[in-house]
Structure 1
Amino acid sequence: MHRSATDPRPRVLHLAQPVGGGVARVVLDLAKAQLTAGLRVTVACPGGELAERARDLGAEVRGWRADRSPGAGLPDEVRRLGRLLDEVRPALVHAHSAKAGLAGRLAVRGRVPTLFQPHAWSFEAVGGATAALALRWERWGARWAHRVVCVSEAERATGVRAGIRARYTVVPNGIDTGHFTPGERPAGAPLVVCVGRLCRQKGQDVLLRAWPEVLRRVPDARLALVGDGPDEAALRRLAPTSVEFAGAVADVRPWYRAADLVVLPSRWEGMALAPLEALACGRPVLVTDVDGARESLPPGHAAHCLVPPGRPGALAGTVAALLLDPELRASLGGQGRRHVLSTHDVRRTAEAVAELYRELLGGRPLVSFECRESIHS
């Protein structure tokens, strides 16, 4: 249901290209908090799970056709977004991830307050000439972001080292600690769970290469990969029979609660949600030392729960050592739950973002876009 143009409540536009995974989760958590606070919220995306769930929350949803990666269709994507912006007329635009950040900043060009949240830098996801182009764009496009929101201090530092001159704000990721709660682990053989999109970023191939050594030391261990993605067929070719491909699931909590250990062997991140969710469920996590990983762990956990990225041998040794030490796992899980409650509750994240919105608009209530100059004038 569309509200009257005279509705005095401010409108925020969240722009996202990924419609699943961590980016969608962040958008939905923010939209829920902002709707509760009385803002009008529009989510523009290519449909899918994000659109369905945003609509269920009460947000206005606008379709924005866009591919995941930049290509020949980018000019049309920017034009479509420009028309959408003229129709929605938001007080503030919050663009999530590389593609929405690219198209959004090209369409708005700083004419209304614009936040760009990379959710991991685009130039880390590619190599060669493509990485150079992505970095060049991020340096150039920073002028059209009133603030770049990083989910970890490490992500911000990566941007600074790369020469991206921007006004940065660090807002750590948060999760719903009332939704992700501990539960009793079912009886059975030791279970390692990896939750994430099946793609190069998440590093499931590294975990599968480590798995034979884990089995040599813990012969009855099992591994479950929870999620789907473009690398599924290749990963299945690497996997022995002790590996289960669970696919995408509507509710990941039973997998966390069934796990003895949750592993995320990423090649790059900003700050992944899966480790925070697992910690909230009272389960120990093992992560690779990429952006945001150390910051997501409780103090003292790095000695037990952090390994170099892309190193199957180091990963195998640490997975096996944790599986063979149930007392340490129990201690780590309990500490992890307390850490997430105190540091990564989604309410903290939503309030930090709300404060940033207020700051960008001079500390006053968000004003409606109806009073502003058209972005195409």
Structure 2
Amino acid sequence: MHQSAADPPPRVLHLAQPVDGGVARVVLDLTRAQLAAGVQVTAACPGGALAAGLRELGADVRDWRAGRSPGPALPGEVRRLAHLIAEVRPALVHAHSAKAGLAARLAVRGRVPTVFQPHAWSFEAVGGLTAAVALRWERWGARWADRVVCVSEAERTTGLRAGVHAAYAVIPNGIDTLRFAPAHPPAPRSADGTGPLVVCVGRLCRQKGQDVLLRAWQDVVGVLPRARLVLVGDGPDRATLEQRAHPSVEFAGAVDDVVPWYRAADLVVLPSRWEGMALAPLEALGCGRPVVLTDVDGARESLPAALAARCLVPPEDPVALAGTVVGLLSDPRSLAELGDRGRRHVLATHDVRLTAERVAALYRELLGRTPAAHTETAQPVPSERRESIHS
């Protein structure tokens, strides 16, 4: 599809479920950049804060009623989506996360250029029979994605090792480095004299590993009794986590603006069990705060070498996590140096404007195909060709 000077700009349909957390932030950031570039953007999602944010940006927002997990309602969700796509007539569909990726590929089946962005693989989030079914679907459904966009090389490698042979593009996550920036003047560390502050930002759920952090925290306060931990976010595991928490742990809940929490922290920790590339560490680094992460997909790629050497721990290892947190909190000079290096790294490699440019280049590539070429690539592509495409 080649656009002449008289042609209207292409219409992109973003499809999202869930409507909160990192997925929502990625959709909002891409929509903002695409609207500024003159792209016509329609977004379909099940309401929530994402829909409200998209309307504020000026996007055309459609209600797509869909639950977060697959189940008996899936056929109806796919039918509703197919009708919506017929009304919108997008030039390209960009589906975000497992549920939207499932429904979009079933509804479109290669008839419209389709981008699927897992934001971490569905089969990592579950176990047993459910994981086997999710993996089988991802292997089968890859034929209906013109590109599978991974946010890290590690996420792509996880897909390949699992047998998901697809036309991959690797486009690292980015953040708004103007919003996520250090305070001016810099906020003094532990200014109220109550001890070092550790902050964890993320949905309170098994993926993010706050239960591991709470187990580690018992050892941290054993060495640093004045240390404080704040969990920022909400989710299904909140009640259970509150029951296990040490008195020095505060639950801040969901907040409209996480920047003040990053800036107040001496250290930001995200002990995830799995990721593609988490946004919270990039946001913390953008604010000049050092981080401690579990060495899951995307973590090593999101850090400069100095932080990767000192700030990565194995997943589900509270002893290693506690040791690293105590070591860093006991060395304020290193904290400041690592935070400064992290900020420079994010500016150079994880600015959301760079991410948006890479996505735009991918769209141009897909929309530049002739109809015949697109029809051909809607069929399975030999794995040696499909696995070699990167952005």
Report the TM-score range of the alignment, normalised by the length of the smaller protein: over 0.9
Residues 1:126 and 2:126 are matched in the alignment: yes
Cα distance in 2 between the residues matched to 1:346 and 1:8: 26
Q: What residue in structure 1 maps to residue 295 of structure 2? A: 289
Candidates 355, 359, 364, aligned match of 1:358: 364
- Report 1:97-116 matches (<5 A): 97-116=97-116
Q: What residue in structure 1 maps to residue 338 of structure 2? A: 332
SS in 1 for 2:38: coil
Q: Is the 8 A contact 1:43 1:60 kept in 2?
A: yes
Residues 1:185 and 2:179 are matched in the alignment: no
Q: What residue in structure 2 maps to residue 260 of structure 1? A: 266
Q: Is the 8 A contact 1:70 1:99 kept in 2?
A: yes
- Report 1:156-305 matches (<5 A): 156-183=156-183, 184-186=186-188, 187-188=191-192, 189-305=195-311
String of CA shifts for 1:221-276, please: whole Å, max 9, x gaps: 00000000000000001101100000000000000000000000000000000000
Cα distance in 1 between the residues matched to 2:290 and 2:10: 42
Cα distance in 2 between the residues matched to 1:286 and 1:69: 30
SS in 1 for 2:177: coil
* AA of the residue aligned to 1:301: L
Cα distance in 2 between the residues matched to 1:185 and 1:210: 27
String of CA shifts for 1:169-197, please: whole Å, max 9, x gaps: 00000000001110233513200000000
Cα distance in 2 between the residues matched to 1:227 and 1:22: 12
1:303 Cα deviation from its structure 2 partner: 1.8
SS in 1 for 2:235: coil
SS in 2 for 1:212: helix
Structure 1 ranges of 4+ moved more than 4 A: none
Residues 1:343 and 2:364 are matched in the alignment: no
Q: What residue in structure 2 maps to residue 83 of structure 1? A: 83
* AA of the residue aligned to 2:101: G
String of CA shifts for 1:81-135, please: whole Å, max 9, x gaps: 0110011110000000000000000000010100000000000000010000000
1:362 Cα deviation from its structure 2 partner: 1.9
RMSD: 1.3
1:47 Cα deviation from its structure 2 partner: 0.3
Cα distance in 2 between the residues matched to 1:201 and 1:319: 20
Q: Is the 8 A contact 2:306 2:338 kept in 1?
A: no
Q: What residue in structure 2 maps to residue 372 of structure 1? A: none
Cα distance in 2 between the residues matched to 1:141 and 1:265: 30
Cα distance in 2 between the residues matched to 1:255 and 1:137: 39
Residues 1:316 and 2:318 are matched in the alignment: no
Q: What residue in structure 2 maps to residue 371 of structure 1? A: none
Q: Is the 8 A contact 1:185 1:259 kept in 2?
A: no
Q: Is the 8 A contact 2:227 2:248 kept in 1?
A: yes
SS in 1 for 2:8: coil
Q: What residue in structure 2 maps to residue 23 of structure 1? A: 23
1:35 Cα deviation from its structure 2 partner: 0.3
1:7 Cα deviation from its structure 2 partner: 8.1
TM-score, normalised by the number of residues in structure 1 = 0.94
Cα distance in 2 between the residues matched to 1:80 and 1:30: 24
Gaps of 5+ in 2: 1-5, 372-391
1:300 Cα deviation from its structure 2 partner: 2.4
Q: What residue in structure 2 maps to residue 375 of structure 1? A: none
Cα distance in 1 between the residues matched to 2:187 and 2:327: 20
Q: What residue in structure 1 maps to residue 34 of structure 2? A: 34
Gaps of 5+ in 1: 1-5, 367-377
* Paired residue total: 360
TM-score, normalised by the number of residues in structure 2 = 0.91
String of CA shifts for 1:334-367, please: whole Å, max 9, x gaps: 0000000000000000000000000112279x9x
* AA of the residue aligned to 2:182: P
Cα distance in 2 between the residues matched to 1:63 and 1:205: 35
SS in 2 for 1:84: helix
String of CA shifts for 1:321-344, please: whole Å, max 9, x gaps: 110000110000000000000000
* AA of the residue aligned to 1:145: A
Q: Is the 8 A contact 1:198 1:204 kept in 2?
A: yes
String of CA shifts for 1:141-198, please: whole Å, max 9, x gaps: 0000000000000000000000001000000000000011102335132000000000
Cα distance in 2 between the residues matched to 1:160 and 1:363: 26
* AA of the residue aligned to 1:277: E
1:10 Cα deviation from its structure 2 partner: 1.3
- Report 1:2-81 matches (<5 A): 8-81=8-81
* AA of the residue aligned to 1:324: S
